[in-house]
Amino acid sequence: MFKLRRRLLKGGSVATLLSPLVGTGLLTPTGVFATEWNRNAFAARNINDALKAYGSANTTESRDILINAPEIAENGAKVEIEISSNIENTRSLAIFADKNPTPLAAIMEFSGPALPYARVQLKLAETTRVRTMVKTLDGKTYVAFREIKVTLGGCGA
Amino acid sequence: MGEPIKIRAQIKGEITEIRILMQHPMETGQRKDEDGQTLAAHFIQSFSVSHNSKPMIDGQLNTSIAKNPLFAFKARGIKTGDKLTVNWQDNTGDKRQDEITVS
């Protein structure tokens, strides 16, 4: 079973099909981490593929997602953004930088005493739109956008 | 093993701010060294933050997170004496776990 699961997960798209099973306890991830690294979504080379792999169809734009970021980042190697959600039952926050070579930067899931808030330091390759996506416990998806101008790209850093 | 994770928790009334510094090269796999050889990707893929051994934040990261990244989170109702544990694992299988007692 274990080897089979490894093989299935390496099979790429199969992992997406199996991932709903993880929550049901039919497939329990190993180690201390609750979720397997979402290889399909993180490896996607453009924003549309990344959004598709992350499973964010029917997204509603929301003013209840706050993004605090510099308008101009002089050095793309370290750009701090602060994100939070006032949407009820927020389960996770994901950050995408549309023009980065791999746009999906982070996914964070919150439970127990943790509030849906994070300050994260990104590398930005060039001036880009950054989007924060919220998924709720009842499976809804919301998004907010922010443009960040980058003077010096962070890919060589 | 990696360098120690630096964890700071600051109780501000009901809300506690938790700052976490993970010392890691976060190499993208796109940079080249002086000889023109591509440097292999080396980055934290997963991390978790637990409060008194119960998971409360579960994160997945990509190469586009900055080198030696600092994160900040917020939690409600953390008390002095509580334990906060942070784990990470990178794409080479390297791991690190550190814990603090909130003071």
Per-residue pLDDT band for B5 (boundaries 50, 70, 90) equals: very high
Query: Quick one: which of A142, A143, A119, A115 has its CA closest to A130?
Result: A143
The arrangement of strands across the sheet holding A117-122 comes to A65-68, A79-85, A117-122, B70-76, B15-21, B6-12
The amino acid at residue A155 is: C
- Is B35 part of a structural domain of the chain? no
The amino acid at residue B101 is: T
Q: Give yes or no for residue A16 having a pLDDT over 60.
A: no
What is the predicted pLDDT for the residue at B92?
96
Find where tokens 């814990």 sit.
B99
d(CA A127, CA A7): 39
| pLDDT tens by residue, A84-97 | 999 999 999 999 99
Mutate to test the interface with A, among B20, B24, B44, B60 (most CBs of A within 10 A): B60
Domains annotated on chain A, with CATH: 1-36 (no CATH), 46-152 (2.60.40.2470)
Domain that holds residue B74: 6-30+42-101
Q: What is the CATH number of the domain that holds B72?
A: 2.60.40.10
Chain B residues whose beta carbon lies within 8 Å of the beta carbon of residue A154: 66
- Is B36 part of a structural domain of the chain? no
More reliable by pLDDT, A36 or B9: B9
Interface residues of A toward B, Cβ cutoff 8 Å, are 31-35, 37-38, 42, 77-80, 82, 97, 100-102, 104-115, 117-124, 154-157
Question: Chain A closest CA to B19's CA: distance in Å?
Answer: 9
Mean pLDDT (whole number) for A42-60: 92
Question: Chain B closest CA to A58's CA: distance in Å?
Answer: 23
What is the predicted pLDDT for the residue at A15?
45
| pLDDT tens by residue, A70-80 | 999 999 999 99
Per-residue pLDDT band for A152 (boundaries 50, 70, 90) equals: confident
With CB atoms and an 8 Å threshold, state whether A119 touches B71. yes
| Residue B51: both structure tokens together | 């409060």
Share of chain A above pLDDT 90, in %: 70
- Is B37 part of a structural domain of the chain? no
The amino acid at residue B38 is: T
Mean pLDDT (whole number) for A35-47: 94
Count up the domains in chain B and report the number: 1
Chain B residues whose beta carbon lies within 8 Å of the beta carbon of residue A109: 57-59
d(CA A118, CA B75): 11
- Is B62 part of a structural domain of the chain? yes
Q: Give yes or no for residue A39 having a pLDDT over 60.
A: yes
| Residue B15: both structure tokens together | 């809300």
**Is residue B46 within 8 Å of B57, Cβ to Cβ?**
no
What is the predicted pLDDT for the residue at B2?
85
Chain A residues whose beta carbon lies within 8 Å of the beta carbon of residue B67: 77-78, 157
Chain B residues whose beta carbon lies within 8 Å of the beta carbon of residue A80: 70
User: What is the predicted ipTM?
Assistant: 0.95
More reliable by pLDDT, A155 or B77: B77
What is the predicted pLDDT for the residue at A155?
64
- Is B95 part of a structural domain of the chain? yes
Q: Is B17 left (phi over 0), alpha (psi -120 to 50) or beta?
A: beta
The amino acid at residue A111 is: S
Chain A residues whose beta carbon lies within 8 Å of the beta carbon of residue B61: 105-106
Q: pTM of the predicted model, to two decimals? A: 0.85
With CB atoms and an 8 Å threshold, state whether A33 touches B73. no
What is the predicted pLDDT for the residue at B42?
96
Per-residue pLDDT band for A34 (boundaries 50, 70, 90) equals: confident
For chain B, the average pLDDT equals 96
Considering only alpha carbons, which residue of chain A is nearest residue B65?
A122
Chain B residues whose beta carbon lies within 8 Å of the beta carbon of residue A120: 65, 69, 71
What is the predicted pLDDT for the residue at B94?
96
